[in-house]
Structure 1
Amino acid sequence: MTSVFEKIEIMSKDFEDTTFKLIAKKILENTKKGKFYNQEELASQTFVSISTLTKFSKKLGFSGYREFIFTIKNEWSKYDWEKSKKVDTAEVVDSIQSWISQNEDFINQLVEKLKTAEIINIYSSQQSFDCSKYLANLLIENGKNAILLNNEYRYKERKTPANGVNLVVLTGRDNDTLVDNFSKSYDPNVANFLIVTEKQENKIELDFTNKLLINFEQDNSRLDTRIVALNLLFFTISNKL
C-alpha cells in the first residue's frame, strides 16, 4: 500500500507547476519540521482557498482535509517513533545474519550469474546508494565490469548484453525515477535480480530471475539498520565470487 507521504512526494515532483504541486511541497516542508496545520492555516500559507485543499485531499483518496491530516499525522508519528526508538545491536546483527542465511538460494543464484557476467548494471534507490556503491567497488576489485547508475535523472533505454546482469536495489520512498529508468531498459531475456523492501515491492511489476525481500525481523525502515543489512549482504555475495 502506497503511503500518504509517498503520494505527496510524487505530486510535489509534477513536471508542471500546478496548485496541487505547490500544496504538496508546502506540506512536505512542514512535516519535516513536525508541523501539521489546520485547513485555514495551510490555505493561508499556500495562498489557496479552503475548497482547493479539500479537492487536494480528495485527489489523494480522502473524503476531505480532516481525514487527510489525521492520516498523515498518524503515519508521521509511527515513522518518527520507529526512527527514534533504541535498538539492541546484537539483536539487529543476529536478525540480519539469519535473514541472509534464509536467502542463500537468491545469493547463490546471483553469484553464479555475476561470475560470468559481461556487465553488471546496478540500479539503486537513493537510500541504498552508498551501499550499492560499496557493492560496485567489491565487484570491481573482483575484476568485474560493474556500473552503478545514477538514477537522479531520467535517461533513455539502456541495452544490456545477453550475458549481462541487472541488479535493482529498491528501498526508501523516493525512487520513481529509478523505477522508470529500469522499466524502460527492462529485458526479460537478461538476468534481472531485485532486492526490495516490503513497502516498495508493488512499485515494480516485472518478472525477475529472483527476488530478495528485505524483511529481517529487526527491520523498521531505519536507515542505519538497512545500511548494516545491505553491507553484510553485499560482503557475503562478494566473498562467494
Structure 2
Amino acid sequence: MRIREKLKNIIKLKEKTLDYHIAEFIKKNAENKIFYKSKEIAFKLNISKSTLTLFSKKLGYEGYGEMIHSLMAELEFYGINKNENKNLINDVEEIIKINSLFDINLLNEKLNFFKKEILISKKVLIVCSSEDDYKQIGLFANYLNMHIKTFYFQQRKIESTFIKKLKENDLTFFILTGLEIEEILLNIDYAFENKLRSLFIVTDSHFEKIKYKNNDTSNILLIKSLSQYNSEVRSFLRIGQINFILTNLILKITKHIYK
C-alpha cells in the first residue's frame, strides 16, 4: 500500500488521536511539496522525535527519515490525484521543451566537470535505476567504452560485486530516479565509504539522500520531477532529461577526444 493511502486510513480511522494529527500534518504538507525534517515537525506538533519514529514504524519504516524520503519519491513517481490538485495541466496541446527545463549555464558547467572526471578515469561503472532508458544509457556506455573502459551491467548482483574491484583512479556513475533504489543506495554507500570518485544524476526527491552523504554537490546533476504532470508524462520527462544530459555529455567528451 502506498504511503499516502496509509496516511489517509489513519486520518479516517483514528480521528482526533495523536496519530491522526501527525498523519494529517504530513499528508497536507506533502501535497503542497513541503517536507519537514524530523526536528521541525516535532517542534510544530509539540511532540518528541521518538514519537515521530514510533509513528513511522507503525507504517513499516525504520524511522521518519526513511518514511519521508519514500513519500517524496512516491509523490514524484505517482503524482497527486487529479481530484486533489486543480493545478494539473489540462492543455493537451502544450509542447514540452526539454532544454527549457535546465539552467543552460549551470548545466554546461556541470557537464564540463563530468567530462573532466570521466576523461581522467581508468574505468567507469554506470549504475542506473529500473525506470531509466536502458538502450540510451547502453548506447552512451558503448560510445564511452571506445575510449575508456566502461561497464554497464543492468544486474544488481554483478554491480555490487564489480564495484568492490574499483580503485581510486576509477569512477562510479549513478543515475537515480523512481522508487526501487535500495540496492543502488547500498552501492552508493560503498562508494562513499571507500572514497571512490562518483558522479550522480538524480531527481529532486533523491537529492537530499546524496547530499547528506556528499557535502560537495559539484558532482551531482539534478533533474526536475515536475509534479504538475501525470505519472506517464513525468516518467518520460525524467528519461528525456537524462537522455538530454547524456547526449550533451557524449558531445563534449567526443569533441575533446577528436579535437
Which category describes the TM-score, using the shorter chain as reference length? 0.5 to 0.7
User: How much does 1:230 deviate?
Assistant: 1.1
Work out the CA distance in 2 between the residues paired with 1:148 and 1:119: 11
Question: Which residue number in structure 2 is paired with residue 123 of structure 1?
Answer: 127
CA deviations over 1:57-112 (Å, ceiling 9, x no partner): 971189xxxxxxxx9xx9657167869974733x333424x444432221101101
For the pair 1:230 / 2:234, whether they are aligned, the reply is no
2:148 to 144, 152, 174: 144
| Contact 2:127/2:174 (8 A) holds in 1 | yes
TM-score by length of 2: 0.55
RMSD between superposed Cα atoms in Å? 4.0
2:85 corresponds to 1:78: no
Q: Which residue of 2 aligns with 1:107?
A: 111
Separation in structure 2 between the aligned mates of residue 79 and residue 203 of structure 1, nearest angstrom:
26
CA distance in 1 between partners of 2:119 and 2:81 (Å) = 39
CA–CA distance in structure 1, aligned partners of residues 60 and 105 of structure 2? 40
Residue pair 1:118, 1:164 contacting (<8 A) in 2 also: yes
Query: Unaligned 5+ residue runs, structure 2?
Result: 7-53, 62-70, 254-259
Structure 1 CA distance for aligned equivalents of residues 185 and 90 of structure 2: 29
Kept in 1: contact 2:121–2:170 (CA 8 A): yes
Supply the distance in 2 between the matched residues of 1:199 and 1:231 (Cα, whole angstroms): 19
Q: For residues 203-223 of structure 1, what are the alpha-carbon distances to aligned partners after superposition, in whole Å with 9 as ceiling and x for unaligned?
A: 343225521111387985612
Q: Secondary structure at the match of 2:152?
A: strand
Question: Do the aligned residues in 2 keep the contact of 1:151 with 1:177 (CA within 8 Å)?
Answer: no
Displacement, 1:114? Answer: 1.2
Q: How far apart, CA to CA, are the structure 2 residues paired with 1:110 and 1:179? A: 20
How far, CA to CA, are the matches of 2:172 and 2:81 in structure 1?
31
Q: TM-score w.r.t. structure 1 length? A: 0.59
Q: Is 1:177 equivalent to 2:177 in the alignment? A: no
Aligned to 1:93: 98
Aligned length: 179
Inter-partner Cα distance in structure 1 for 2:204 and 2:225: 11
Work out the CA distance in 2 between the residues paired with 1:77 and 1:111: 33
1:163 is paired with a residue of what secondary structure? Answer: coil
Q: CA deviation at 1:167?
A: 1.1
| Distance in structure 2 (CA, Å) of the matches to 1:203 and 1:77 | 20
**CA, structure 1 residues 190+155, in 2 after alignment: closer, same or farther (shift >3 Å)?**
closer
> In the alignment, does 2:219 pair up with 1:213?
no
Partner of 1:51: none
Q: What's 1:30 paired with?
A: none
Matched with 2:58 is 59
Are 2:201 and 2:221, in contact at CA under 8 Å, matched by a contact in 1? yes
1:219-239, Cα deviation, whole Å (9 max, x unpaired):
856121222211111010111
**Helix, strand or coil for the counterpart of 1:193?**
strand
Instruction: Give the match for residue 202 of structure 1.
Output: 208
Query: 1:166 — aligned with what?
Result: 172
